[in-house]
């Protein structure tokens, strides 16, 4: 097999794996939005079958042979990236015995079901055995992945954010924490009236308004669509099929709007990456979970909660909802959508306190994986950390350690990517602002130059580079909390 032939083989295997992933996403979309309750049994087996098939192909003997033929330097960035991404999944696949993969998969299914009931009953104790099993299997998985070379938690972190380590995350979070705590103190003391956001707003009009904004953001409706689901998410179901969901269940009208903007940020990244040579390959996606989240949060918070953005869109919002906000001024509206408030629920948190929620989970996760925190002691540890980081007393586990699905789904090591997304996003935005007068563009409602810049520098690059390399190529710098701190202090440290 020549090098050329090996590369051709690798690409065709990669394209088939990508197609299987798209098929799995079609099934998932159907389960989330349409499937009748009794379908869940066979659907679970269908999904497991596909996952096993993907795993088998990713770590097959022929994959190993092809990759070994391609070891060494590739000049072409596409070929180099394909070898990098496939070597990584090959290595991860090989490190884990099939038996462990099966046990983990079953523990996740059980964990999710038990957690749903435990949260409903506010009964953490009933969730303890399932979570203990998950933590124990995850520790076993982490040991195998790290091969004794790195810390166990680092091995988990690396699964979600390639190349990231606690050595890098710890000092970033340590530096951020006191700044965020003092901003939350300062801002939450101010009285901001946002009651007008929690009135009945007709859903068809909410939909119409969100549709206008995500169209302006460049969402391509000929290659995607928007649905309604219990949890907002984005999914690539095919090369030309990226779908987003929103929900209309929260008391605040802004929950559904910002969910749409957030998911649209993910979607335009996916739609742009799925073009040209990358289309149909595993490189047609976000560089990492953190990089993906950086773009959804950039659109939701940095752009979507900015004053210039609402200078353009608020008149339209007011025309759409004259009964609800006819008497509200732009300043009042801007303050309301940026209200800083101590809330126990992460997904409802404002952009200032949000990373503190992540630090809380990060602190506990590391202890769970290190073995210094036992599962039955989680509620107490959670409540202590909540007091320390958020200044909140938690008296109900539904508002504390039972609120998130991640641990119940076996996703330990995932949370930090949300906070890293904030940091990447602020660094990219600071760089973009050197090229474009964003205040002027946003106030005119001209999103096109901003979208184009992001498409060219970030979205079209897909997985060609690791998140670290991509950040360096776009901003010329490595990961740093400075831009994020400058962004937050500029916005929140001034008096309104």
Residues at the contact surface with Zn ion, assessed by CB under 5 A: 296
The CB-of-257 to Zn ion minimum distance in angstroms stands at 15
Report in angstroms how near the CB of residue 239 gets to Zn ion at its nearest.
Answer: 21
SS3 state of residue 225:
strand
Shortest gap between Cβ of 241 and Zn ion (angstroms)?
19
Q: Are 474 and 428 in contact (CB under 8 A)?
A: yes
Q: Which is nearer to Zn ion, 107 or 261 (CB)?
A: 261
If DSSP codes are grouped into helix, strand and coil, which group holds residue 56? helix
Query: Taking the alpha carbons of 120, 235, 302, 440 in that order, is the dihedral positive or negative?
Result: negative
CA angle in degrees (0–180, nearest 5) for 404-306-247: 40
Q: How far is the CB of 234 from Zn ion (least distance, A)?
A: 7
326 near 320, Cβ under 8 Å? no
Q: Which is nearer to Zn ion, 141 or 260 (CB)?
A: 260
Contact criterion met (CB below 8 Å) for 59 and 94: yes
Instruction: Please report which helix (H) or strand (E) contains residue 234, including its range.
Output: strand 234-238
Minimum distance from residue 451 beta carbon to Zn ion (Å)? 18
Q: Which token pair is 321?
A: 């909802």
**Tokens for 167?**
């050595």
Bridge partners of residue 420, in order along the sequence: none
CB 300 within 8 A of CB 258: yes
User: Cα(180)–Cα(191) distance, rounded to whole angstroms?
Assistant: 19
CA distance 250 to 481: 32
Q: Which residues are catalytic?
A: 263
Order across the sheet with 234-238: list the strands.
Answer: 224-228, 241-246, 234-238
Q: Which is nearer to Zn ion, 130 or 254 (CB)?
A: 254
Gyration radius (Cα) of the chain, Å: 23
Residue with tokens 């190993």: 64
Report in angstroms the alpha-carbon separations of 69 from 78, 88, 175, 236: 17, 15, 45, 31
Task: Give the nearer residue to Zn ion in terms of CB position, either 296 or 461.
Answer: 296
Least Cβ distance, residue 262 to Zn ion (angstroms): 6
How far is residue 185's CA from residue 181's CA, in Å, rounded to a whole number? 6
Alpha-carbon gap, residue 300 to 285, rounded angstroms? 19
Please state the closest distance from residue 356 (CB atom) to Zn ion, in A. Answer: 18
Nearer to Zn ion, 139 or 266 (CB): 266
């Amino acid at each position: 097999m020549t090098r050329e032939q090996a590369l051709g083989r690798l690409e065709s295997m990669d394209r088939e794996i990508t197609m299987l992933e798209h098929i799995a996403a079609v099934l998932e979309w159907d389960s989330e939005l349409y499937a009748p309750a009794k379908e869940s049994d066979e659907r679970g087996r269908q999904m497991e079958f596909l996952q096993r098939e993907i795993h088998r192909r990713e770590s097959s003997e022929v994959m190993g042979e092809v990759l070994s033929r391609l070891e060494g330097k590739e000049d072409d960035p596409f070929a180099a990236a394909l070898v990098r991404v496939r070597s990584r999944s090959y290595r991860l696949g090989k490190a884990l015995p099939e038996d462990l993969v099966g046990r983990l998969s079953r523990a996740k299914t059980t964990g999710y079901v038990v957690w749903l009931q435990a949260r409903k009953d506010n009964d953490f104790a009933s969730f303890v055995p399932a979570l203990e099993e998950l933590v124990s299997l995850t520790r076993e998985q982490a040991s195998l992945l790290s091969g004794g070379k790195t810390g166990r938690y680092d091995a988990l972190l690396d699964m979600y954010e390639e190349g990231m380590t606690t050595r890098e995350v710890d000092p970033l979070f340590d530096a951020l924490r006191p700044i965020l705590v003092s901003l939350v103190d300062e801002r939450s003391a101010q009285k901001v009236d946002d009651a007008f956001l929690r009135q009945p707003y007709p859903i068809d009009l909410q939909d119409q308004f969100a549709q206008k904004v995500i169209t302006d953001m460049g969402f391509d409706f000929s290659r995607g669509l928007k649905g309604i689901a219990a949890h907002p998410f984005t999914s690539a179901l095919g090369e030309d099929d990226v779908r987003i969901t929103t929900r209309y269940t929260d008391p605040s009208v802004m929950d559904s709007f910002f969910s749409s903007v957030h998911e649209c940020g993910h979607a335009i990244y996916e739609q742009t990456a799925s073009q040209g040579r990358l289309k149909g390959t595993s490189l047609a996606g976000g560089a990492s979970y953190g990089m993906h989240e950086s773009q959804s949060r950039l659109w939701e918070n940095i752009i979507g909660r900015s004053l210039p953005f609402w200078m353009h869109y608020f008149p339209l919002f007011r025309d759409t909802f004259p009964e609800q906000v006819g008497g509200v001024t732009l300043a009042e509206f801007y303050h309301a959508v940026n209200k800083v408030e101590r809330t126990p629920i992460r997904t409802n948190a404002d952009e200032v306190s949000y990373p503190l929620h992540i630090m809380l989970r990060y602190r506990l996760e590391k202890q769970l994986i290190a073995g210094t925190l036992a599962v039955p002691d989680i509620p107490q540890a959670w409540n202590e950390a909540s007091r320390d980081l958020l200044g909140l007393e938690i008296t109900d586990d539904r508002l504390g350690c039972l609120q998130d699905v991640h641990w119940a789904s076996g996703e330990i090591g995932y949370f930090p990517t949300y906070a890293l997304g904030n940091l990447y996003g602020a660094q990219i935005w600071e760089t973009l602002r050197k090229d474009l007068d964003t205040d002027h563009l946003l106030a005119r409602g001209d999103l096109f130059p901003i979208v184009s810049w992001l498409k060219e520098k970030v979205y079209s690059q897909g997985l060609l580079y690791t998140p670290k390399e991509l950040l360096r190529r776009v901003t010329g710098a490595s990961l740093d909390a400075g831009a994020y701190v400058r962004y937050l202090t500029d916005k929140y440290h001034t008096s309104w």
